[in-house]
Chains A and B, each alone.
Chain A
Amino acid sequence: MKRHLISAADLSRDDAVLILDTAEEMARVADRPIKKLPTLRGRTVVNLFFEDSTRTRISFEAAAKRLSADVINFSAKGSSVSKGESLKDTALTLEAMGADAVVIRHHDSGAPHRLATSGWIGGSVINAGDGTHEHPTQALLDAFTMRRRLAGGEGDLNGCRITIVGDILHSRVARSNVHLLTTLGAEVTLVAPPTLVPVGVGNWPCEVSYDLDAVLAKSDAVMMLRVQRERMNAAFFPTEREYARRYGLDGDRMARMPEHAVVMHPGPMNRGMEITAEVADSPRCTAVEQVTNGVSIRMAVMYLLLGGNEPALTTSSTEENK
């Protein structure tokens, strides 16, 4: 594995499977009376959040604490960062405090990449979501959830048919999932109104469809993405009602999915928009499970990056062009 986790594209199949396998072991810790491991004792993990995301932050925080790392939460709001301090100066401060890893959430695509390659800090950088670029730990926890539900909790996702529905254009979750799921052997189909599919998507290793109903029956998992209501104002779609009608998942549509198929959502959900309450609350919806699995995945990532004097060794079979 590389020293940083910036993009799901950086993970080889073996890296990804190792993370998922490690997360399975981490998940067992949650069932114990003492949900803590001494493994990262003395390590410092900084949660550097330039964007509000309580859910993601507490997931990383719980993961780091279960591994006994010291956690420093650095929120840009109300700090010197909001007063114009640059990412560089913030990074130098964290370096001076001896951060072994920086978990960064940033509104700018590429900020974690910049942090990792600029020489500002020496520790590992873990991307907790950057702009509209990537959110690799989300993709890993999604893959983990799918592997448990669809592939017996072992190996990869070879042959699984995954449909991702919603605002692909602005979704870091979609980007990371396309990379990771295809690395794991799954077949990915993106479904969205054409306005919410990026120009250049033709180069992605997946199919694109504008018709949700046409792909539902051929899906082992349907991942609904959050669609921000503000997009309506930028004319990405005419009305919420029309969006929900064409691209929302309701009970009727869910009934047309194969019996074993699951519904996923990275949260937070817009009930009534991309997903109805009936679907969200059904046992086929894994949203809550995904949150639980998020902690295990983040523990696994932190352990594999920080658990030794260098990241875990795996064969690097990533594509040459990455």
Chain B
Amino acid sequence: MDATPATPARPVLEGPDIARMLTRIAHEIVERAKGAEDVVLLGIPTRGVFLARRLAAKLEEITGRSVLVGSLDITMYRDDLRLGPARTLARTDIPGDGIEGRVVLLVDDVLFSGRTIRAALDALNDIGRPRAVQLAVLVDRGHRELPIRADYVGKNLPTSLRETVKVQLAEEDGRDAVLLGVKQTTPAGER
């Protein structure tokens, strides 16, 4: 997704920061979704899925109820499929009875152009009709190309298009961190 950084990426958020942010988001969800009873968390692979699971665990902690969590692969709904080789698919796993009439909370690591979320909304549309769709992201780095905003944001991180934002999670990367780097080349509007 991001080009190899020319200079070593530096961490702007560390593990404890991320844990704190997720806790805050979980509380916000409980507050705004009135106990989060009919919420289904759908993480967008790869790291959105781990974040969704962590959020679900925190929600269960807060509410004492089990929370539905799954994953939503958006690959086949992307608008840039023809710009590269066919992409490997990730797992779509809709928990319970599906999303019909529920509040779907999409979870992703970084919100950037908004195109991933556009694709996710299309994908949801083919799966069912939720009562509402909300979006939680760990980092919002700006530079939207579509009219999309997040309902829950861990951190707003002002960036330039020359910079890269990389989220690392223990489940996938062995540690928790958000890294800020600089791209070698800057094709404007990538992603």
Contact = CB atoms under 8 A, between A and B. Distances in A.
B92 interface: yes
B127 interface: yes
A307 B81 CA distance: 6
Contacts of B176: none
Is the interface on chain A under 10, 10 to 19, 20 to 34, or 35 or more residues?
A: 20 to 34
A18 B88 contact: yes
A88 to B, nearest CB: 29
B16 interface: no
A25 B86 contact: no
Interface stretch (A33-41, A103-111, A222-230, A284-292): A33-41
Contact of A309 (B73, B82, B122): B82
A263 interface: no
Interface string B68-91: 000001001100011111111111
A18, A22, A306, A307 — most chain B CB neighbours (10 Å) = A307
Interface string A280-309: 000000000000000000000001111111
A28 interface: yes
A28 B92 contact: yes
Contact of A34 (B77, B82, B126): B126
Contact of A311 (B81, B86, B127, B128): B86
Contacts of A309: 82-85
Given A36-B126, A37-B126, A308 B76 contact: no
Is the interface on chain B under 10, 10 to 19, 20 to 34, or 35 or more residues?
A: 20 to 34
Nearest to A23: B89
Contact of A37 (B76, B84, B88, B128): B76
A312 B86 contact: yes
B88 A22 contact: yes
Nearest to A41: B81
Interface in B80-110: 81-92
A305 B81 CA distance: 12
A29 to B, nearest CB: 8
Interface string B103-143: 00000000000000000001001111000000000000000
A28 B87 CA distance: 18
A32 B77 CA distance: 15
Contacts of B91: 25
A38 B75 CA distance: 11
A38 B76 contact: yes
Contacts of A72: none
A313 interface: yes
A21 interface: yes
A22 B91 CA distance: 9
B127 A312 contact: no
B77 to A, nearest CB: 6
Closest 7 CB pairs of A and B: A307-B86, A308-B86, A312-B86, A39-B76, A34-B126, A25-B89, A308-B85
Interface of B: 73, 76-77, 81-92, 122, 125-128
Given A28-B92, A307-B81, A308-B87, 10 more contacts: A25-B91, A25-B92, A37-B76, A37-B77, A39-B77, A305-B86, A306-B86, A307-B76, A310-B84, A312-B86
9 contacts: A22-B88, A25-B73, A25-B92, A37-B77, A303-B89, A305-B86, A306-B86, A307-B76, A311-B86
